[in-house]
Structure 1
């Protein structure tokens, strides 16, 4: 068991919005595995009615030992075609989709699809649960690394007020600036660029400098950005 990171003001809809904006794409939600309520969807595939019962049973057999280890769903609805189901679960952001047709069963494998990259891979049925758990952990790390790269690519240091206002307008981003601690200085760049101080670090950023607004001594940098 791991403790979650928590804030003093609780979870709000802004965090949901940030999650969607950070990870999702034009096909719908992309949920980090640790946050996804359903981590895997298994979609048995058949062409003939004679294959339907066998494929449904195979999906049930394959996941029999998964309960308590991983949250999953078997989508064996017979009123929808596989493509419809694939699209639905992509929109919902389920991290992993497992496709399984008669040919896959004959080869003792399944097709595993990552929601974040769309990568497809053939995985042996034996040891499938361990492979899926490993893939979920890899996806979690990949999504975190991608988000971190995006944050770092859009974080800048700025020491000149005019440049700060211009760059807040375009291209935007997060800006480390010196601030003297006076409310009047924060109010000025809030009025000029609709930006506010988003973070005053407890650790780090302690290098002395001059306030970007008034030039008064500043003990540390703060992070300025627009709020949406």
Structure 2
């Protein structure tokens, strides 16, 4: 039986987040933010180890600056929040906008930061010796979404966005692919989320990019989700912002660029992929709490039990395991069991007088819902091994789900039938025409999620038009 009624209910009850009262904006609570902080700490280290440096750019962008790259603003125009005035007044006990405070130039609340970075690059790039520049920013952005879902699609979200400048096309493309691989490995190794690496169609690519690389996955309900993108910008932004460098033979060239990012959508994907009827299941490597110790109090031996639990906690902390010792005696052990199942804590250890006397402990695994009795000898090694097993098991199960959600289809009626009944990725031929892509999406609400990288060339007929096709693409309904 479910302990929660819906996706949102699970988020509320597990203490991840709650709605703020403004549509599309949420309050990320300590438990939810600690997951994002763990993601940030791990990925930030990876980025720094690969030569990237962190910066912070303003939250507001002058309208004229944002408008320089026309295809870019065309893509974001409907989502932009705009500041027109800078002051309010109280008049007759009512708060009103001061009409005299109208800005000379309207300001866009940052939906993404390409224009800010390329304005900056125009000031600091002069020679090939200044390149490459590899910058990264951890920040928040606002995109005014009409349909919202906590963590998955919100008007404000936290994210990481990288922006790089290069002296050659080859180097910029390599950077885009490198970041795609970093994201893919990070998601599989730390979040236990398997992904498909691919390329977006012209219709689905990032506005202002020459090519968009992406990582896509499938959730338990058969819907696809885009978890990260890496864009080869070509020279689109450098030409609009006149960012040139002097090459080794003294000639002026336009700089080549990339941008890439992931967001708090990753937390939503964890919920949608790894949860069960009891609540969350958090992969150990990004779990805020990896082990919870729950004492079974005995009025005659509470001090002994408490001392034993404290020693056990310190022992695990000494090997860098994140442990919570819940000594609260105002609630029952059963209540705690339910609470930490709901929160998805990977391992629960139960200690009582019986366990201390026998030098054993009861260990419960959240991923398998199984509990076993273990001897306390070599205990630290055991817990490390169990955490590794849980991480691997979650990935193994997720890979099997992904595999089962990929269906090869050659008939349009079968295509629609599978899409409505099963969902998942449908591998089908497409004639490469934008018009065909749009018609299929209009009829079925399924978009082309990606053209898989290293796709096999395979002659066939388009699922919709019957025209010649050289490869299959992946269709799916998505979040």
| TM norm structure 1 | 0.92
Q: Distance in 2 between matches of 1:223 and 1:92?
A: 34
Equivalent residue runs for 1:44-55 within 5 Å: 44-48=295-299, 50-55=300-305
| Paired position in structure 2 for 1:202 | 453
1:145-179 residue CA offsets vs partner (Å, 9 max, x unmatched): 11111121221000111221222111222100111
Q: Distance in 2 between matches of 1:15 and 1:198?
A: 17
- Give the match's secondary structure for 1:204: coil
Q: Distance in 2 between matches of 1:175 and 1:163?
A: 10
Does the Cα contact within 8 Å between 1:99 and 1:110 map onto a contact in 2? yes
- Give the match's secondary structure for 1:63: helix
| Paired position in structure 1 for 2:267 | 16
| Paired position in structure 1 for 2:280 | 29
Q: Distance in 2 between matches of 1:121 and 1:201?
A: 43
| Paired position in structure 2 for 1:211 | 462
Of 64, 82, 99, which aligns to 2:314?
64
* CA drift at 1:55: 1.0
Residue 39 in structure 1 maps to residue 279 in structure 2: no
| Paired position in structure 2 for 1:73 | 324
Does the Cα contact within 8 Å between 2:449 and 2:476 map onto a contact in 1? yes
* CA drift at 1:13: 4.3
Residue 118 in structure 1 maps to residue 336 in structure 2: no
- Give the match's secondary structure for 1:198: strand
| Paired position in structure 2 for 1:141 | 392
Segments of structure 1 that go 5 or more residues without pairing to the other structure are: none
Of 151, 163, 169, which aligns to 2:420?
169
Q: Distance in 1 between matches of 2:441 and 2:264?
A: 23
* CA drift at 1:139: 1.1
Does the Cα contact within 8 Å between 2:313 and 2:324 map onto a contact in 1? no
- Structure 1 runs of 4+ aligned residues shifted over 3 Å read 1-5
Q: Distance in 2 between matches of 1:69 and 1:206?
A: 48
* CA drift at 1:89: 0.8
* CA drift at 1:75: 0.8
| TM norm structure 2 | 0.45
| Paired position in structure 2 for 1:179 | 430
1:111-156 residue CA offsets vs partner (Å, 9 max, x unmatched): 0000111111111112111101101111111111111111212210
| Aligned-pair Cα RMSD in Å | 1.8
Residue 152 in structure 1 maps to residue 403 in structure 2: yes
Q: Which has the higher strand share?
A: 2
Segments of structure 2 that go 5 or more residues without pairing to the other structure are: 1-41, 48-181, 184-227, 231-259
- Give the match's secondary structure for 1:134: helix
* CA drift at 1:227: 0.9
Q: Distance in 2 between matches of 1:200 and 1:162?
A: 22
| Paired position in structure 2 for 1:106 | 357
Q: Distance in 2 between matches of 1:195 and 1:90?
A: 35
Does the Cα contact within 8 Å between 1:165 and 1:189 map onto a contact in 2? no
* CA drift at 1:17: 2.4
| Paired position in structure 2 for 1:87 | 338
1:70-99 residue CA offsets vs partner (Å, 9 max, x unmatched): 111111112111111111111110000000
Q: Distance in 2 between matches of 1:14 and 1:194?
A: 21
Q: Distance in 1 between matches of 2:369 and 2:46?
A: 30
Does the Cα contact within 8 Å between 1:32 and 1:143 map onto a contact in 2? yes
Q: Distance in 2 between matches of 1:179 and 1:189?
A: 10
* CA drift at 1:3: 4.4
Question: Which is higher, the Rg of structure 1 or of structure 2?
Answer: 2
